[in-house]
Amino acid sequence: MSEAMVEVRNVTKVYERGKQKIEVLHGLTLEIPRGDFVALMGPSGSGKTTLLNLIGGLDQPTSGQITVGGSRLDQLRAGELAHWRARNVGFVFQFYNLMPVLTAEGNVELPLLLTRLSAPQRRKNVAVALQVVGLADRAKHKPRELSGGQEQRVAIARALVSDPQLLVCDEPTGDLDRKTADEILGLLQVLNREHGKTVVIVTHDPKAAEFARRTLHLEKGQLLEQAA
């Protein structure tokens, strides 16, 4: 691990709910080296998902700087941010968030529609991604025909297919049983160790956090400690 993949400098995030202003992150500073596997833990409302959303370019900080892979996300406009996300980051959600009308391969191909790849090239990339997550034989199945673990594997394949350097995962095992959760985390570990992906996951589960190289604890919008 060398230079920083993610640099968060003095970031605050304030949400407005009606007349009420809620400050979720308070001047948070953080650095994640390229190739790291970080677990963000903390109680509900501590700002884990907010931090993950900022790192993934889904939201903008109220103040402070966020640099990911050399790009200053806090300075990008909405359209530029969308373009950046398509090229640089893969997302995995707790509830998979697959398109129910598409097959597994259709779901995995979706991010590639934003590229200039030809249809045969897209199909090839999709096949590789499904192979990596071990679901090559389920390519033609729709999400409702898959188990939870398989759906999450498809979601990981979708996150991988455009070859981003950063994977952000929000409670990726929160909806899975222990055995399946361990398989998914093992897969993320392989992607980190063998494919060099930087992985950031949010989790409540200490066992899940054990798969990460390090764990960061957040409480009330601030980073508490760093555990190896």
Partner 1 sequence: MTKSGFVVANLFRKRTRTILTLLSVIMAFLLFGLLQSVNTVFNAGADFVGATRLMVQARVSFTQPLPVSMVPKLEAIPGVARVAYQQWFGGVWQENTPLIMFALDPQRYRDVYPEWLMPEAQWQAFEHTRTGMIVGRQLADQYGWKLGQKIPIASNIYPLKNGSKAWAFDLVGIFDGKDEEWKRRTNLAFIQQDYFDEANQFNVKGRTNFFILKLQDGARAEAISKTVDAMFENSPDETKTQTEKDFNISFVKQIGDIGLIVRWILFAVFFTLLLVVGNTMAQSVRERVPELAVLKTLGFSDASVLGFVLAEAFALCLAGGLIGLVLASICGALVAKGTGGQFQLQLDAGVWLIGVAAIGLMSLAVGLLPALRARRLRIVDALAGR
- Please give the backbone phi and psi of residue 223, each rounded to the nearest 5 degrees, phi first: -80, 125
Shortest distance (Å) from residue 174 CB to partner 1: 14
Q: Which of 76, 69, 55, 70 is nearest to 11 (CA)?
A: 55
Residues within window 137-166 making contact with partner 1, judged by CB under 8 A: 158
Of residues 111, 149, 172, 221, which one binds partner 1 by CB under 8 A?
111
Do residues 42 and 205 lie in contact, with contact meaning Cβ atoms separated by under 8 Å? no
**Smallest separation (angstroms) from partner 1 to the CB of 118:** 12
Residues 99, 190, 224, 227: which binds partner 1 (CB under 8 A)?
99
According to DSSP, the β-strands at 71-72 and 89-92 are unpaired
**97 near partner 1 (CB under 8 A):** yes
The nearer residue to partner 1, 93 or 128, going by C-beta atoms, is 93
Piece of 3-11, 61-69, 84-92, 143-151 that binds partner 1 (CB under 8 A): 84-92
Q: Which of residues 178-217 bind partner 1 (CB under 8 A)?
A: none
Kindly state the tokens that stand for 30: 């953080």
DSSP state of 151: H
Site size with partner 1, rule: CB under 8 A: 29
Q: Are 87 and 39 in contact (CB under 8 A)?
A: no
CB-based burial, 33-71: b 16+ in 10 Å, e otherwise:
bbbbbbbbbbeeebbbbbbbbbbbbbbbbbebebbbbeb
User: Which of 36, 109, 151, 171 is close enough to bind partner 1 by CB under 8 A?
Assistant: 109
DSSP 61: -
Q: Does 87 bind partner 1 (CB under 8 A)?
A: yes
Binding site for partner 1 (CB under 8 A): 50, 53, 56, 58-59, 78-79, 82-87, 91, 93, 97, 99-102, 105-106, 109-111, 113-114, 119, 158
